[in-house]
Amino acid sequence: TLSQDTYLINGELKKWNGDKADVFSTISSTEEYKPTLLGSVPNLSENEALEALNAASNAYARGQGLWPTMKVEGRIAAMEKFVAQMKTKREEIVKLLMWEIGKSLPDSEKEFDRTIEYIYDTIEDYKQMDRDSAKFEKNSGVHAHIRRGPLGVVLCLGPYNYPLNETFALLIPALIMGNTTVFKPAKHGVLLLTPLLEAFQTSFPAGVVNIIYGRGRTLVTPIMKTGLVDVLALIGNSKSANAIQANHPQKNRLRLILGLEAKNPGIVLPEADLDLAINECLAGSTSFNGQRCTALKVLYVHEDIVEEFNKRFAERVDALKFGNPWEEGVKLTPLPEPGKPAYIQELIDDATDKGAKVLNDNGGKTSENYIFPAVLYPVSKDSRVFEEEQFGPVIPIVSFKDVQEPIDDMAASNYGQQVSVFGSNVRTLAPLIDTLVNLVCRVNLNSAAQRGPDVYPFTGRKDSAVGTLSVHDALRSFSIRTFVAAKDT
Ligand code: G3H
């Protein structure tokens, strides 16, 4: 087990002698099921939370060559130092990803490698942005030196499904743009930051990165109540985002960068290549057990092909291999949230009460830490699984006659991140795509929804997001155009 008793404040790795929280994996290491104790992390109090915030606030306000006003080369050197150290921790972090959140070995390796690439791409984009954006202008007798500056103190809160990659998709751009940060790791995926504490400490000036551990309410509420947080950067759910921002005493002063829920539909048109549509819908709805904001969470299949689609899709889902994350060929793995199987079962029961059938033989079969994906059809639109973001292994299917039906549902939905469309008739597709792209932010043609490649903008409409992430856009989201002006004399 990994007993971690340090936290990072003001450049100091402090030792914690107080109360600690045990970290369990829902993966059993014994034949008879028993959650595995992985280690423990500090349960810090409000005092440490406020100390971390003050450190970030002072590090921002001091300026004069320190982090927020440091030259581009200085910030890049710090980031390069950090990433070089991070690369040496691959094996340890990949192992923790598998145990803490049950991500398969290939996907855990991908999460790590993608994060390294993300940091290097950010450095390159930052250099380019600096070349393009720092410039002199003269208008109406006023000379201006325009540049991009930081926003201030950023509170970073990442999600459990990408505890490394998505947390860093907030933290890295925030840092490189000169902001200072307080960062609290997600509940699941908390230990995997331990191998990086020293790298953070030795790469960045004191107070620039502060890492705290403990209960959200104990730490985050007092931090927000001070009014000293300039940016809330959170990937997670809107319930937490709303509760957290409500604590800020002057809400208009708080900037938000949020990645929230989505209910991305897959729309299979009658002329679609069925093999391709089934492959992509399978990957889109079941990878990492559906625990992705970008997952396909409802499938609309045209009535002419729905019977064949359902038969083949259900067989493919049943053929997916369940097991521990490190086992060869495993696609479905234990769920890190102990309450998740029961929640998914509630959704299945509700949908079947309203007329749906479970199409696959294994659908809904449970073990202590898992429930096998259930393919549900026909799902009535007043079912919970049609409305709620299931974020887990259950796949509702509805049939449609006219493509206007899914369009109307998307227009009425609270979410607007992505859609996948499967078809080949250019005359039908072209106007459809134009309509869909105004309802979401990314239309995937004959492919599953996803966030990557990370250079593309990642955002959503309505309740799905505030602000835009990605290598390129995040640098802009975490900064503001400022300028120094002088009059002609
Ligand atoms: O949970 C939401 C993530 O942004 C999904 O990212 O599409 O790369 O799996 P992904």
Residue 292: CB within 6 Å of ligand 1?
yes
Q: Provide mean pLDDT across the span 295-312.
A: 98
Q: What would the pLDDT profile of 155-205 be if each residue is shown by its tens digit?
A: 999 999 999 999 999 999 999 999 999 999 999 999 999 999 999 999 999
CB 125 within 8 A of CB 51: no
Residue 456: CB within 6 Å of ligand 1?
no
Residue 340: CB within 6 Å of ligand 1?
no
Residue 465 confidence (pLDDT) above 70:
yes
Residue nearest to atom 7 of ligand 1 (CA): 450
The mean of the pLDDT values for the chain is 96
Residue 451: CB within 6 Å of ligand 1?
yes
Percent of the chain with pLDDT over 90: 94
Residue 15 confidence (pLDDT) above 70:
yes
CA of 423 to the centre of ligand 1 (A): 24
CA of 460 to the centre of ligand 1 (A): 13
Residue 133 confidence (pLDDT) above 90:
no
> How many whole angstroms separate alpha carbon 164 and alpha carbon 406?
34
Q: What would the pLDDT profile of 61-72 be if each residue is shown by its tens digit?
A: 976 668 999 999
CA of 34 to the centre of ligand 1 (A): 30
Residue 450: CB within 6 Å of ligand 1?
yes
Nearest-atom number in ligand 1 for the CA of 291 is 1
Nearest-atom number in ligand 1 for the CA of 159 is 1
Residue 39 confidence (pLDDT) above 90:
yes
Residue 293 confidence (pLDDT) above 80:
yes
CA of 470 to the centre of ligand 1 (A): 12
CA of 320 to the centre of ligand 1 (A): 20
Q: What would the pLDDT profile of 358-374 be if each residue is shown by its tens digit?
A: 999 999 999 999 999 99
Residue 464: CB within 6 Å of ligand 1?
no
**pLDDT of 65:** 65
Q: Provide mean pLDDT across the span 381-407.
A: 98
Residue 150 confidence (pLDDT) above 70:
yes
Q: Lowest mean pLDDT: which of 27-41, 125-139, 255-269, 288-302?
A: 125-139
Query: Is the pTM for the entire model greater than 0.90?
Result: yes
**pLDDT of 63:** 65
Q: What would the pLDDT profile of 74-83 be if each residue is shown by its tens digit?
A: 999 999 999 9
Residue 452: CB within 6 Å of ligand 1?
yes
**pLDDT of 408:** 98
Residue nearest to atom 6 of ligand 1 (CA): 451
